[in-house]
Structure 1
Amino acid sequence: MSESAVTDSGETDPRHESREGRNLFGRIALFVRQVISELKRVVTPTREELIRYIWVVLAFVAVMMLIVFAMDFVFNWLAAKVFGG
């Protein structure tokens, strides 16, 4: 079922207000309200989660560096064989 459906009380969901009939300042105010609403939902990670995420990112970067290094080495070797080194 759609989130923008009418509730039992007959009101629409305030998160999905219509842009129709709003002037520029009304649309800006709506945007700011929606941004604040979304920022209230943000959950900051705990220290342990943050450290785990850092290690995952560092491991991913290390693996990608190894892949790029290996491809560079192989292509350099192939170019030297083809064009005479």
Structure 2
Amino acid sequence: MSEANAQGTPGDKPAPKANPAVFLRQVIAELRKVVWPTQKQLVNYFWVVLVFVLVFMLLVSLLDLGFGRLAFWIFGGAN
């Protein structure tokens, strides 16, 4: 789509709304264009995401523990 068509002119009317059946057909047509990952890729992505989340959970937990102890030390908490 060219920029002129995408932006339209100030006097253009908005496109009419599609009914749910047309919307559903368009969604299915778009999903058919998707390149789905293979099972091997999916398993690989799962492990990458799992390791990433676990590393950041560890990082945030250590920061929370450190800042908590620092706050107790500064404000005179018990031991």
Aligned pairs, how many? 67
More relative contact order, 1 or 2 (CA 8 Å, 6+ apart): 1
Runs of 4+ in 1 over 6 A off after TM superposition: none
Q: Percent identity?
A: 48
Deviations 1:45-79 (A, max 9, x none): 11210111011111111111111111111111111
* Pick aligned residue for 1:61 from 37, 53, 63: 53
Change (3 A) 1:43 1:50: same
Structure 2 spans left out of the alignment, 5+ residues:
6-13
Structure 1 spans left out of the alignment, 5+ residues:
6-17
Q: What RMSD, in angstroms, separates the aligned Cα atoms of the two structures? A: 2.2
Q: Distance in 2 between matches of 1:43 and 1:78?
A: 50
Which residue in 1 is equivalent to 2:70? 78
Amino acid of the structure 2 residue aligned with 1:74: G
Which residue in 1 is equivalent to 2:23? 31
What TM-score, normalized to structure 1? 0.63
